[in-house]
A and B are shown apart, each in its own frame.
Chain A
Amino acid sequence: ETGVTQSPTHLIKTRGQQVTLRCSSQSGHNTVSWYQQALGQGPQFIFQYYREEENGRGNFPPRFSGLQFPNYSSELNVNALELDDSALYLCASSFDRDRNTEAFFGQGTRLTVV
């Protein structure tokens, strides 16, 4: 067990709705990254938060937004859900954005958009 907790584990939403996914980082980690993993694909980087600020973003539209709290836990929000947003969403926490430290992953949230 990595100490990174994601909630919920599974979620079904309707197209057009909004969703919030949550991630509690490992104790002592100040950096959280979010990834989207479509079926049969490797994870794709969505964005990273470091000390409550967005610190890098992948090729995802603005309807994907996030937040990091003072305790370094994080949320991923997706507005106006589309069918293609159905995927496993992973968060990973690490000690520091600038160092080559290991990333610890949560179990993921499996989102299904119908």
Chain B
Amino acid sequence: KNEVEQSPQNLTAQEGEFITINCSYSVGISALHWLQQHPGGGIVSLFMLSSGKKKHGRLIATINIQEKHSSLHITASHPRDSAVYICAVRLLWGGSQGNLIFGKGTKLSVKP
């Protein structure tokens, strides 16, 4: 079982829809990152969370440390939001000395 699980793996939405992507993890973490990867490959950091909720434009990220779960929400989705969204956690102890463990990503396609 992967230490970081994302759902769904693939998501197709109509423009304007509200979108939720989920991330569950099974390890102790010091922070969780939401990242966006476009087809060219480059990764952009959207949020880094250790508690609560953050908002940036149409994007909202929440984390529940007790339940080891985070969600990324996109309001009023647009075709330019089409990308792969990746959840990554920074380990609290040991392992790779605090480096990131990634989920497999959620491929989002927003149709006009």
The residues of A with any CB-CB pair to B shorter than 8 Å are 2, 33, 35, 37, 40-45, 48, 55-58, 88, 90, 92, 97-98, 100-108, 110
**Contacting residue for A107 out of B41, B50, B86, CB 8 A:** B41
A103 and B33 form a contact (CB under 8 A): yes
Check if A57 sits within 8 Å of B96, measured CB to CB: yes
A58's closest neighbor in chain B, by CB? Answer: B96
CB contact between A44 and one of B42, B90, B102 (< 8 Å): that residue: B102
Contact for B96 among A41, A48, A106, CB less than 8 A: A48
Given known contacts A41-B104, A42-B104, A42-B105, is B44 in contact with A105 (CB within 8 Å)? yes
Pairwise interchain contact B41-A110, C-beta atoms closer than 8 A = yes
Contact with A along B29-40 (1 / 0, CB 8 A): 011010100001
0/1 string, B72-105, CB within 8 A of A gives 1: 0000000000000010101000001111111111
Question: B interface, by DSSP: helix, strand, loop or mixed?
Answer: strand
Tell me the bound Cα distance from A97 to B100 in angstroms: 11
Chain B residues, Cβ within 8 Å of A100:
30-31, 48, 50, 90
Q: Which residues of chain B have C-beta atoms less than 8 A from A106's C-beta?
A: 42
Closest residue of chain B to A106 (Cβ to Cβ) is B42
Which 7 A-B pairs rank lowest in CB-CB distance, beginning with the nearest?
A56-B97, A42-B102, A107-B42, A105-B43, A108-B41, A100-B31, A42-B104
